[in-house]
Amino acid sequence: MRKRKKKLSSKIGWSTPDRITVHGLNLCEEVLGHFSVGDYAFLLLTQRRPTREESNVFNAVFITLVEHGMTPSAMVARLTQLGSPESLQAAVAAGLCGLGSVFVGSMEGAARMLSEAMPAEGSAGDVNLDELAKDIVATYRSNGRIIPGLGHPLHKPIDPRTPRLFEIAADSGLSGPHVELMQGVQKAAEAASGKQLPINATGAIGAICCDLGLPWEIVRGIGVMARSIGLVGHLLEAKSNPLAFELWQRTEEEILLNSSADTLS
Residues 230-249 touching a copy of itself, rule: CB under 8 A, are 230, 232-237, 239, 241, 243-249
Question: Is residue 75 at the binding interface for a copy of itself, with CB under 8 A as the rule?
Answer: yes
CB of 66 to a copy of itself, least distance (A): 6
User: Which residue type is seen at 225?
Assistant: M
Identify the CA nearest to 199 among candidates 184, 213, 212: 184
Contacting a copy of itself (CB under 8 A), which of 93, 117, 127, 192? Answer: 93
Closest to a copy of itself by CB, 14 vs 128, is: 14
Please choose, from the candidates 206, 224, 204, 99, the residue with its C-alpha nearest in 3D space to the C-alpha of residue 155.
204
- Among the listed residues 142, 143, 260, 265, the single contact to a copy of itself using CB under 8 A: 260
- What's the closest the beta carbon of residue 239 comes to a copy of itself, in angstroms? 7
Q: Which of residues 21-40 bind a copy of itself (CB under 8 A)?
A: 21-22, 24, 27-29, 31-33, 35-38, 40
Total of residues contacting a copy of itself (CB under 8 A): 122
How long, in residues, is the chain?
Answer: 265
Report 211-230 residues binding a copy of itself (CB under 8 A): 217-218, 220-222, 224-225, 228-230
Angle at 100 between CA 98 and CA 105, to 5 degrees: 140
**Adjacency order of strands within the sheet including 13-16:** 13-16, 19-22, 25-26
* Residue 99 contacts a copy of itself per CB under 8 A: yes
DSSP annotation string for 193-228: H-S---B-HHHHHHHHHHHTT--HHHHHHHHHHHHH
Q: Distance (Å, rounded) from C-alpha 118 to C-alpha 133?
A: 10
Round to whole Å and give the CA distance between 77 and 256: 25
**Residue 15 corresponds to which amino acid?**
S
Minimum CB–partner distance for residue 187 and a copy of itself (Å): 22
CB 103 within 8 A of CB 71: yes
Interaction mask 176-215, a copy of itself, x per CB under 8 A: ----------------------------------------
Using the rule CB under 8 A, give the single segment among 122-130, 163-171, 174-182, 187-195 that binds a copy of itself. Answer: 163-171
How many other β-carbons are positioned within 10 Å of the β-carbon of residue 24?
11
Based on CB atoms, which residue is closest to a copy of itself, 148 or 184?
Answer: 148
Binding mask 42-71 for a copy of itself (x = CB under 8 A): --xx----------x--xx-xxx-xxxxxx
Q: How far is the CB of 129 from a copy of itself (least distance, A)?
A: 26
Question: Is the bond into 157 cis (omega within 30 degrees of 0)?
Answer: yes
Judged by CB under 8 A, which of 135, 164, 187, 190 binds a copy of itself?
Answer: 164
